[in-house]
């Protein structure tokens, strides 16, 4: 079936270090969204990418959508303790039009 895998599953970094999570889909996606979920909270939308090869930046966060629209990445520069949480990608399968969430990457930032 359709799968969206994220790596790594967990990442611990020292405050100030960079962090990257990768999202890989088994099928082509119409778009990709990224969400952040704090411990005990609900997912909160960060950004949406639609075009092949698209790159978007939000302050210290850089998002990329692959050329084949099957993978994406989120890069955080100089992490801060407020970046702690689980980052999920979510894509709309271009064949079924269903939302599929990735497995998530849990980020811990050590002060």
Partner 1 sequence: DTGVSQNPRHKITKRGQNVTFRCDPISEHNRLYWYRQTLGQGPEFLTYFQNEAQLEKSRLLSDRFSAERPKGSFSTLEIQRTEQGDSAMYLCASSHGSYNEQFFGPGTRLTVL
Binding status of residue 39 toward partner 1 by CB under 8 A: no
CA-CA distances (angstroms) from residue 41 to 35, 36, 44, 46?
Answer: 12, 9, 9, 15
* Under rule CB under 8 A, residue 92 binds partner 1: yes
Stretch that binds partner 1, among 11-19, 53-61, 65-73, 90-98 (CB under 8 A): 90-98
Give the contacts of 19 (CB within 8 A, at least 6 positions apart).
11, 13, 75, 76, 79, 83, 107
Shortest reach from residue 24's CB to partner 1, in Å: 14
85 binds partner 1 (CB under 8 A): no
Q: Which residue, among 30, 25, 9, has the nearest Cα to 103 in the 3D structure?
A: 9
Nearer Cβ to partner 1 (29/109): 29
Residues that bind partner 1 (CB under 8 A): 4, 30-31, 33, 41-45, 48, 88, 90, 92, 97-104
């Amino acid at each position: 079936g359709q799968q969206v895998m994220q790596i790594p599953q967990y990442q611990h970094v020292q405050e100030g270090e960079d962090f990257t999570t990768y999202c890989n889909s088994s099928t082509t996606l119409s778009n990709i969204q990224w969400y952040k979920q704090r411990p005990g909270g609900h997912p909160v939308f960060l950004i949406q990418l639609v075009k092949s090869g698209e790159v978007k930046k939000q302050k210290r966060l850089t998002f990329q959508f692959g050329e084949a629209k099957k993978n994406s990445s989120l890069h955080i520069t100089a992490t801060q303790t407020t970046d702690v949480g689980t980052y999920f990608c979510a894509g709309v399968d271009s064949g079924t039009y269903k939302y599929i969430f990735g497995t998530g990457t849990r980020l811990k930032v050590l002060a």
